[in-house]
């Protein structure tokens, strides 16, 4: 069976080795929900992540990945609890804030309050999970963090999506 890109209406580049930069380019084609992960240990930290996923229902487990070179890593490395915020379709600015390095991400206009276990809870998220970190797995320059949801809440609405290097909304 042959595939003709012209009949499929898409342009296809030739196959290349999966370098880190090439992998980043390919994975930009994958749409992902946008989350902000927060924790605290003396000061609050947080970062925007599109790597959040469900791992298991029995027991309930979720995961996300964090670059160990991130400014959030020192606190996340020791955090016993985190909050995962699934952002709503109108929260692209909040996602940008938590994706920007070198700023106080919790300064106004970010609206938040301390939650259970001292984790920062962002206001207005589509859904929030307060989780206990159960395992950290080194994987290349990142760490996969496995967490057990302890408290969950959600509202009706559409999620914020990240696709092809930009934030997008579902219709």
Tell me: the pLDDT tens digits for 109-127?
Answer: 999 999 999 999 999 999 9
Question: Spelled out in words, what is the top-level CATH class assigned to the domain 33-164?
Answer: mainly beta
Tell me: the pLDDT tens digits for 77-110?
Answer: 999 999 999 999 999 999 999 999 999 999 999 9
Cβ atoms 19, 64 nearer than 8 A: no
* Residue count of the chain: 171
Percentage of residues of the chain with pLDDT beyond 90: 75
Tell me: the pLDDT tens digits for 11-43?
Answer: 666 788 877 777 777 767 777 899 999 999 888
- Helix/strand/coil for 123: coil
Residue 7: band (very low, low, confident or very high) from pLDDT cuts 50, 70, 90: very low
Domain definitions of the chain by residue range: 33-164
Give CA separation, 63 vs 5, 112, 149, in Å: 36, 23, 10
Tell me the average pLDDT of the chain.
90
> Side by side, which strands form the sheet with 32-33?
32-33, 160-163, 166-169
pTM above 0.75, yes or no: yes
């Amino acid at each position: 069976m042959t595939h003709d890109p012209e009949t499929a209406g898409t342009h296809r580049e030739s196959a290349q080795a999966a370098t880190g930069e090439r992998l980043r380019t390919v994975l930009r084609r994958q749409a992902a929900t946008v989350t902000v992960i927060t924790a605290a240990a003396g000061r609050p930290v947080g970062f925007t992540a599109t790597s959040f996923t469900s791992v298991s229902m029995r027991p309930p487990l979720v995961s996300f990945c964090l670059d160990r070179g991130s400014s959030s890593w020192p606190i996340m490395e020791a955090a016993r609890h985190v909050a995962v915020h699934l952002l709503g379709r109108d929260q692209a600015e909040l996602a940008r804030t938590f994706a920007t390095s070198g700023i106080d991400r919790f300064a106004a206009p970010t609206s938040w309050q301390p939650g259970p276990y001292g984790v920062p809870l962002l206001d207005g998220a589509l859904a929030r999970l307060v989780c206990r970190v159960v395992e950290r797995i080194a994987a290349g320059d990142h760490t996969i963090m496995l967490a057990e949801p302890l408290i969950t809440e959600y509202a009706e609405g559409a999620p914020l999506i990240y696709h092809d290097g930009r934030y997008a909304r579902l219709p």
